[in-house]
Structure 1
Amino acid sequence: MKRHLEVLLWGGLLLAALVASFSWLKLDLAALFRGDSLEQMNSYARSFFPPDSSPGWLRQIFHGALETLAISAIGTLLAALAGAALSLLAAGRLGAVAKMLARLLLNALRSVPELVWAALMVLAAGLGPFAGTLALALHTTGVLGRLFAEALENTPPSPTRALRDAGAGPVAAFCYGTLPGVLAQWLSYTLYRWENNIRMAAVLGFVGAGGLGQMLYVTLSLFQQSRASSVILAMLVMVLLVDALSAWLRRRWG
């Protein structure tokens, strides 16, 4: 009985919070179905069909997809290398002061959204894929560095301690005592972030960072919905393929 009352209490509080949120934000869901709203949405959606399948445009989409893949892959790889290095500091392997500074840096890197990093990198490096790669690398370094550090902290220290007691150096003790216990997790985290970065690399094109996102922004700005539809379909296919590849790699290496 007490358990049921507790569930009802929390359910009532959540419902009250939801109603209060709708009231405070002044959300009017009925506006979606009022007047000619549905007809306007339907008309705009119909303008995306049929997708533009001309050979010249498909070649441009293929080039943009390769550029998006390259941006995400290089950005994720750079982030994995930098995150692995910073995770050693963030896990306290080199002292408390280094741990505090590394965690502060990782928090700062991942607190800034990728779009903000991309805007800054566009100002620094100009329009194009280089800015998108740097933006993804900076934000993802903060994410992966924190995840890698947590994996290191949860790894049993006994293998490394045994190697050090046997006379092994710190590098050898880490490579043979600690790294085998966290490598599978590190790879899984990296592949997951690569999946996310594929999607984000497409979005970063809206601030001039290259790839399919920039093509989508240009076509929508010029009201070329049929071309935009082809770009959206290419994004969908690319994400599905990368998700399948990432799942296969995790099963194989996990």
Structure 2
Amino acid sequence: MSARPLPPAPPRRVSTWLLAGAIVALVVASFASLQLQWSAFFSPDALAVTTEFLAGFTPPETSPAFLRKTALAAAETLSMSAIGTLLAVAGGMALAIAGAGRLGKVQRVLARGLLNVLRSIPELVWASLLLVAAGLGPFAGTLALAAHTSGVLGRLFADALENADPHPEATLLTNGAAPAAAFLYATMPQTLPQMLSYTLYRWENNIRAAAVLGVVGAGGLGQMLKFHLSLFQMQNAATVIIAMLLLVALVDAASFALRRALTR
């Protein structure tokens, strides 16, 4: 029995070739305009200065008092990311319901616009703005994480709700169930695993962001790192960097394990 011939390849549209050409032209123009000096970057002088700079980080500071201080800052960073993510889940879910069009077309446009604004402003900019109102410390950093992440999670949650199968909820409504009950028992179970996966992934990102937010005075490991680097205390800064790496690795492993448990 002879094998069936393969179907012909779909024709390439002109728009596809135009888009590919525009991307290639953008990449070429980017390299041409940036004036990257690769030879200077890999020159012997640059390598010697870099080696000398990195040697200043060794050995890391391991005194008990400093390790205790670093552990407290790591706990503060972890708390900022966790509370910021929880606040973002609440805010994002509230906006996602309207953004999915469940409250009307006007509310959908307004909610989507607000979500675009929230996620378009980076965490560092949010922190710089909120530091004026809330003052230095982790409170401003937590609110900055919550504001930006609300925009990200709200968009993802809204898309998940829009893509959910509407038939189970319609069936419950036809049989006399209240709209809220139909939503909670028919639509939410479909989207909940996906929403939890999004939340855990954003929590991983917020750990890194919380460590960076301290650079602008939002507390945690980032504030410690900025302080010691500004005083050229490289060995202390090395300990803080190692704490950052360990914290991110720990949260990544915990988040990966939770996502695997949810998808089984």
3-state DSSP class of the match of 2:57? coil
Equivalent in the alignment of 1:95: 104
Equivalent in the alignment of 2:43: 34
C-alpha distance in 1 between matches for 2:117 and 2:44: 46
Task: Classify 1:130/1:161 alpha carbon distance in 2 versus 1 (closer, same or farther; 3 Å).
Answer: same
Give structure 2 stretches of 5+ with no counterpart.
1-8, 12-17
Equivalent in the alignment of 2:56: 47
| Deviation of 1:16 (Å) | 5.9
Task: Within 5 Å, give how 1:69-108 maps onto structure 2.
Answer: 69-108=78-117
| Deviation of 1:35 (Å) | 5.2
C-alpha distance in 1 between matches for 2:48 and 2:197: 45
Superimposed CA distance per residue, residues 110-136 of structure 1 (whole angstroms, 9 cap, x where no aligned partner): 000100000011111000000000000
Whether 1:58 and 2:76 are equivalent positions in the alignment is no
Whether 1:124 and 2:133 are equivalent positions in the alignment is yes
Whether 1:145 and 2:154 are equivalent positions in the alignment is yes
Question: What TM-score results when the alignment is normalised by the length of structure 2?
Answer: 0.90
| Deviation of 1:252 (Å) | 1.4
| Deviation of 1:21 (Å) | 2.2
CA RMSD, 1 decimal: 2.1
Task: Within 5 Å, give how 1:145-224 maps onto structure 2.
Answer: 145-224=154-233
3-state DSSP class of the match of 2:232? coil
Aligned residues: 251
Greater displacement, 30-39 / 144-153: 30-39
Identity of aligned residues (%): 59
C-alpha distance in 2 between matches for 1:231 and 1:121: 25
C-alpha distance in 2 between matches for 1:228 and 1:66: 17
C-alpha distance in 2 between matches for 1:150 and 1:22: 36
C-alpha distance in 1 between matches for 2:19 and 2:81: 42
C-alpha distance in 1 between matches for 2:183 and 2:230: 52
Question: What TM-score results when the alignment is normalised by the length of structure 1?
Answer: 0.94
3-state DSSP class of the match of 2:133? helix
